[in-house]
Amino acid sequence: MTTVLHIERCRVCAQALFPARYRCPHCGAADWASEAAPHGVVEESTVVRHRVGAQGTGDVHLATVRTAAGAFVIARADAPLARGTSVALSIDETNRVWASASGVPHRASH
Ligand SMILES: [Zn+2]
Protein backbone atom coordinates (compact mmCIF):
# COMPACT_ATOMS: atom_id res chain seq x y z
CA MET A 1 0.00 0.00 0.00
CA THR A 2 1.59 3.26 -1.11
CA THR A 3 0.42 6.81 -1.47
CA VAL A 4 1.69 9.74 -3.49
CA LEU A 5 4.69 11.49 -2.00
CA HIS A 6 4.08 14.97 -0.59
CA ILE A 7 6.78 17.54 0.01
CA GLU A 8 6.53 20.75 2.03
CA ARG A 9 6.77 24.20 0.51
CA CYS A 10 7.53 27.31 2.56
CA ARG A 11 4.65 29.78 2.27
CA VAL A 12 7.06 32.69 2.77
CA CYS A 13 9.93 32.04 0.33
CA ALA A 14 8.55 29.08 -1.69
CA GLN A 15 11.52 26.81 -0.84
CA ALA A 16 10.51 23.16 -1.39
CA LEU A 17 11.76 20.63 1.13
CA PHE A 18 11.66 16.94 2.01
CA PRO A 19 11.51 15.62 4.65
CA ALA A 20 9.66 18.32 6.58
CA ARG A 21 11.49 20.45 9.11
CA TYR A 22 10.10 22.75 11.75
CA ARG A 23 11.68 25.90 10.30
CA CYS A 24 12.59 26.79 6.75
CA PRO A 25 16.41 26.60 6.37
CA HIS A 26 16.23 29.41 3.84
CA CYS A 27 14.15 32.11 5.56
CA GLY A 28 13.45 30.75 9.06
CA ALA A 29 9.67 30.72 8.70
CA ALA A 30 7.59 27.86 10.14
CA ASP A 31 4.67 28.12 7.76
CA TRP A 32 4.40 25.20 5.33
CA ALA A 33 2.06 24.07 2.59
CA SER A 34 1.94 20.39 1.65
CA GLU A 35 2.32 19.72 -2.04
CA ALA A 36 2.00 16.50 -4.03
CA ALA A 37 5.24 15.42 -5.71
CA PRO A 38 4.19 12.43 -7.82
CA HIS A 39 7.02 12.70 -10.36
CA GLY A 40 10.73 13.39 -10.50
CA VAL A 41 13.93 12.82 -12.44
CA VAL A 42 16.85 10.71 -11.22
CA GLU A 43 19.93 12.84 -10.56
CA GLU A 44 22.13 10.13 -9.10
CA SER A 45 21.75 6.50 -8.19
CA THR A 46 23.66 4.01 -6.11
CA VAL A 47 23.28 0.47 -4.89
CA VAL A 48 23.68 -0.74 -1.33
CA ARG A 49 24.84 -4.34 -1.47
CA HIS A 50 23.77 -6.67 1.30
CA ARG A 51 25.70 -9.78 2.12
CA VAL A 52 23.84 -12.97 1.33
CA GLY A 53 21.64 -13.84 4.28
CA ALA A 54 21.76 -10.41 5.89
CA GLN A 55 18.07 -9.57 6.22
CA GLY A 56 17.49 -11.62 3.08
CA THR A 57 16.45 -8.61 1.05
CA GLY A 58 19.25 -8.50 -1.51
CA ASP A 59 20.58 -5.28 -2.97
CA VAL A 60 18.86 -1.98 -2.30
CA HIS A 61 18.89 0.62 -5.02
CA LEU A 62 18.87 4.23 -3.90
CA ALA A 63 18.29 7.22 -6.15
CA THR A 64 18.55 10.94 -5.57
CA VAL A 65 15.47 12.29 -7.31
CA ARG A 66 14.78 15.90 -8.19
CA THR A 67 11.02 16.31 -7.90
CA ALA A 68 9.03 18.48 -10.27
CA ALA A 69 8.27 20.62 -7.20
CA GLY A 70 11.99 21.37 -6.81
CA ALA A 71 12.90 19.42 -3.67
CA PHE A 72 15.40 16.56 -3.73
CA VAL A 73 14.40 13.24 -2.18
CA ILE A 74 16.28 9.99 -1.60
CA ALA A 75 14.15 7.13 -2.90
CA ARG A 76 14.43 3.36 -2.92
CA ALA A 77 13.92 1.40 -6.10
CA ASP A 78 13.43 -2.24 -7.06
CA ALA A 79 15.85 -1.94 -9.96
CA PRO A 80 18.77 0.30 -10.95
CA LEU A 81 17.66 3.68 -12.29
CA ALA A 82 19.85 5.54 -14.76
CA ARG A 83 20.54 9.24 -14.37
CA GLY A 84 17.88 11.22 -16.23
CA THR A 85 15.14 8.60 -15.84
CA SER A 86 11.66 9.96 -15.17
CA VAL A 87 10.21 8.25 -12.12
CA ALA A 88 6.93 8.08 -10.25
CA LEU A 89 7.32 8.75 -6.52
CA SER A 90 5.32 7.14 -3.76
CA ILE A 91 5.59 6.63 -0.04
CA ASP A 92 4.81 3.40 1.79
CA GLU A 93 3.22 2.76 5.17
CA THR A 94 6.61 3.00 6.91
CA ASN A 95 7.34 6.40 5.32
CA ARG A 96 9.92 5.06 2.90
CA VAL A 97 10.04 6.82 -0.45
CA TRP A 98 9.99 4.63 -3.57
CA ALA A 99 10.84 5.51 -7.14
CA SER A 100 9.72 3.53 -10.17
CA ALA A 101 10.52 4.26 -13.77
CA SER A 102 7.55 5.86 -15.48
CA GLY A 103 7.50 5.83 -19.24
CA VAL A 104 10.11 7.38 -21.45
CA PRO A 105 13.59 8.38 -20.28
CA HIS A 106 14.07 12.08 -19.60
CA ARG A 107 16.77 12.38 -22.24
CA ALA A 108 15.12 10.49 -25.08
CA SER A 109 17.00 10.32 -28.37
CA HIS A 110 15.59 12.29 -31.24
ZN1 LIG B 1 11.24 29.95 3.61
What's residue 25's pLDDT?
94
- Half-sphere exposure at residue 1, Cβ-oriented, CA atoms within 13 angstroms: 2
pLDDT attached to residue 58: 74
Q: Indicate the residue type of 5.
A: L
Domain coordinates in residue numbering, the chain: 37-101
CATH number among 3.40.630.10, 2.40.50.840, 2.60.40.420, 3.40.190.10, domain 37-101? 2.40.50.840
Confidence (pLDDT) at 76: 94
Ligand 1 centre from 30 Cα, in Å? 8
> What is the structure's pLDDT at 51?
65
C-alpha 40 – ligand 1 centre gap (Å): 22
Distance from the alpha carbon of residue 6 to the mean position of ligand 1, in angstroms: 17
Q: Show Cβ contacts of residue 69 under 8 Å, excluding neighbours closer than 6 positions.
A: 7, 9, 16, 35, 37
- Is residue 103 within 8 Å of 44, Cβ to Cβ? no
Instruction: Note the pLDDT of residue 65.
Output: 97
pLDDT at 105 (0 to 100): 46
pLDDT in 10s for each residue of the chain, 110 residues: 679 999 999 999 999 999 889 999 999 999 999 999 999 999 999 988 876 655 556 788 999 999 998 999 999 998 899 999 999 999 999 989 999 997 544 444 44
94 CA to middle of ligand 1, Å? Answer: 28
